[in-house]
């Protein structure tokens, strides 16, 4: 196979950094896809964190020190949460141990559990993705150094730009864009 058919050029062809072997382009494309997957995982982490915080706020505000006074001697205010309102209404609904209050506590517990599991799962996916990124990054650096790139230039290469160089030049923009 002719060497020039294996190489794409990014930027000026007179610099070694411009030579990009097809294998390096493929690695860059895989890295680029992993970076996009990371963005999606981060969105899931943020959503799980928001749900965890929200469920915890529902629980914590209702179980403030003032709420314990209400629970034990019904003498203190229960604060300003969903559960606090249920505890304050509990004397009319059968007391602090009423099914309504217990159900609200159970709902908060399971919301926290589900959000924590989602967060933990996304963290594990991100950890595994980091391993893949590290391995592919090392392979990309080696491939670029093999064609004359400096190690520093290879480590700082824009994988999205290198991946785009691997895409067919026949790709056109959609009409209206």
Question: Residue 43 domain-assigned?
Answer: yes
pLDDT for residue 169: 46
Question: Residue 72 domain-assigned?
Answer: no
Task: Please determine, for residue 65, whether its predicted confidence score (pLDDT) is greater than 90.
Answer: no
> Would you give the DSSP letter of residue 173?
P
Question: Residue 120 domain-assigned?
Answer: yes
Q: Which of 67, 59, 74 is nearest to 110 (CA)?
A: 59
> What is the C-alpha to C-alpha distance for residues 35 and 38, in angstroms, rounded to an integer?
5
Question: Residue 42 domain-assigned?
Answer: yes
Residues 43-55: tens digit of each pLDDT: 999 999 999 998 8
> What is the C-alpha to C-alpha distance for residues 160 and 30, in angstroms, rounded to an integer?
10
Higher pLDDT: 103 or 175? It is 103
Question: Residue 85 domain-assigned?
Answer: no
Give 66's contacts (C-beta < 8 A, 6+ positions apart): 76, 77, 78, 79
Residue 111's domain spans which residues?
A: 31-57+97-166
Domain count within the chain: 1
Residues 91-136: tens digit of each pLDDT: 665 555 677 777 888 888 899 999 999 999 999 999 999 999 999 9
């Amino acid at each position: 196979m002719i060497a020039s058919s294996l190489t794409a050029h990014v930027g000026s062809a007179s610099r070694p950094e411009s030579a990009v072997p097809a294998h390096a382009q493929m690695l860059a494309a895989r890295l680029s896809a992993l970076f996009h997957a990371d963005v999606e995982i981060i969105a899931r982490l943020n959503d799980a964190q928001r749900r965890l915080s929200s469920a915890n706020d529902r629980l914590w505000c209702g179980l403030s020190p003032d709420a314990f006074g209400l629970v034990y001697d019904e003498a203190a205010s229960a604060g300003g949460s969903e559960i606090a309102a249920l505890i304050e209404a509990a004397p009319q609904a059968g007391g602090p141990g009423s099914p309504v209050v217990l159900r609200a506590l159970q709902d908060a517990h399971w919301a926290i559990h589900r959000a924590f599991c989602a967060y933990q799962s996304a963290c594990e996916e991100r950890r595994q993705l980091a391993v893949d990124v590290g391995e592919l990054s090392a392979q990309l650096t080696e491939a670029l150094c093999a064609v004359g790139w400096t190690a520093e230039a290879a480590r700082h290469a824009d994988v999205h730009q290198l991946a785009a160089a691997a895409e067919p030049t026949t790709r056109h923009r959609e009409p209206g864009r």
